[in-house]
Amino acid sequence: MIQVAALTKETDALEMAEALQQRKFPAFVVPTGADKFYHVQVGPYPDQKSAETARRALESAGFKTLIKH
- Give domain limits for the chain: 2-67
SS3 of 61, please? coil
Q: What is the pTM of this model?
A: 0.89
Candidates 3.30.70.1070, 2.60.40.10, 3.50.40.10, 3.40.50.2300; CATH matching 2-67? 3.30.70.1070
At 20 the pLDDT is: 96
At 66 the pLDDT is: 84
At 12 the pLDDT is: 97
pLDDT tens-digit profile of 21-43? 999 999 999 998 889 999 999 99
φ and ψ of 62, to 5 deg: 100, 10
Contact 28, 41 (CB under 8 A): yes
Question: Rounded mean pLDDT of 7-14?
Answer: 96
